[in-house]
Amino acid sequence: MEQRFDPIKDKTAEIIEAIMQSPDIPDDPGLQFKIRLSVEEATENIVQYAYAEGEGYVVVKTELTPANRLIITLRDEGVPFNPLDKDDPDITLSAEDRNIGGLGIFLCKQLMDKVTYTFENGCNILTMEKQITTPKNN
């Protein structure tokens, strides 16, 4: 599945639903929760950092490899921003003592098996991967 959302502003719920309706998403509620939360956090990062005015687009893509590896890609042409450059938050500290930001991408890294970022041909590309162990009910 591949779909473009333009503009991205106020489309997070629509983007999440499009991904969750993809035939690549497994019929596993626990895994769906992890995917949903990761996509929400990644999309909000794009809205917040890539497009200062809130206008711009994102292309989302899902793919299930023959080895049952789910790959979710989000691509935008916003301001280059690598969310993986930030240090993980110190979750042992109280919320009041922690620096603001970084928790969303930290969650993505905890919930998914692999999260990578590249900047290619003027595009931010965030890729999240998860091994699927539950077979699809198709």
Question: 1 pLDDT exceeds 50?
Answer: yes
pLDDT value at residue 107: 87
Distances (CA, A) of 58 to 5, 47, 79, 138: 5, 9, 12, 29
Has residue 136 got a pLDDT over 60? no
Is 106 in a helix, a strand, or coil? helix
Specify the pTM. 0.85
Q: pLDDT (tens digit, 9 = 90+) per residue, 67-100? A: 999 999 999 999 998 988 876 555 555 555 545 5
Looking at residue 89, what is its pLDDT?
A: 52
Split at pLDDT 50, 70, 90, the class of 138 is very low
Cis check for the bond before 7: say yes or no (omega within 30 of 0).
Answer: yes
Asked whether residue 10 carries a pLDDT value surpassing 70, the answer given is: yes
Domains observed in the chain: 2-131 (3.30.565.10)
For 47-59, what is each residue's pLDDT tens digit? Answer: 888 887 778 999 9
Residue 123 in this model has a pLDDT that exceeds 60: yes
